[in-house]
Amino acid sequence: MPSSPTALWTDLIPAATEDCLAALLEASDQDWSRLAHDLEWTCRQTLDHLALGLIGYTGLLIARPDDRYITLFASLDPQAPVQGCLEGLRIAATLLTSTVRDTPAEVRAWHPWGHSDANGFAAMGITELLVHTYDITRALGCSWTPPDGASAAVLTRLFPDAPPEHRPSDTLLWCTGRSTLPGLPRRVDWQWDGTVSQGPSGGS
């Protein structure tokens, strides 16, 4: 498929981040020691996983290893209130956005689900934000679904075999094992495809 412009992704990351942060802030006075929806982590641990993932993708694009994960692990202050942790999440997303913007299109870095480019790592970061915000808000009793625009973009980039003709947010939740679709049972095993397809412009 032709490459999506990097500018699209550097707009989508902060937009998705703000959408997710608004939903998480609304739930910040709830009990974050509850398990996140269908995960083995608490809501608070899931938030920490989110920050670690966004910084991890940033680090992979900077270090550009071809066979391993990076040696830097980032976490949120375990003593900080949820509101403070949300600030940390915004910082991590901003660092990813800047790194995606500054990474040349030809750069590739390791990921267990496919060596990828800057746009691919942007899509991975957005996917993490959307699905884990869904996990947390669902556990805390808040009604929130991923935005369709960001969902459609990551489906195109990371889930090329996603079933068509469904609302993008519903399809993303199905692709990541979080819900059913009409005629399709919930997925037990899933992963995205971060590899870079070589279209006419050599992009993803």
Rounded CA separation 45/188 (Å): 22
Rounded CA separation 176/103 (Å): 27
- Tell me: the pLDDT tens digits for 120-129? 999 999 999 9
Rounded CA separation 193/165 (Å): 21
> Is residue 159 pLDDT above 80, yes or no?
yes
Length of the chain in terms of residues written: 204
- H or E element that contains 26: helix 6-26
Rounded to the nearest integer, the mean pLDDT of the chain is: 93
pLDDT band (50, 70, 90) for residue 2 = very low
pLDDT band (50, 70, 90) for residue 39 = very high
pLDDT of 3 reads: 52
Domain ranges of the chain: 6-175
Proportion of the chain above pLDDT 70, given as a percent: 95
- Tell me: the pLDDT tens digits for 96-151? 999 999 999 999 999 999 999 999 999 999 999 999 999 999 999 999 999 999 99
The CA–CA distances, whole Å, from 75 to 23, 38, 112 equal 21, 22, 21
- Tell me: the pLDDT tens digits for 161-177? 999 999 999 999 999 99
Neighbours of 104 (CB within 10 A): 8
The CA–CA distances, whole Å, from 112 to 60, 109, 137, 161, 195 equal 12, 10, 28, 19, 10
- The CATH homologous superfamily to which domain 6-175 belongs is dinb family like domain (1.20.120.450)
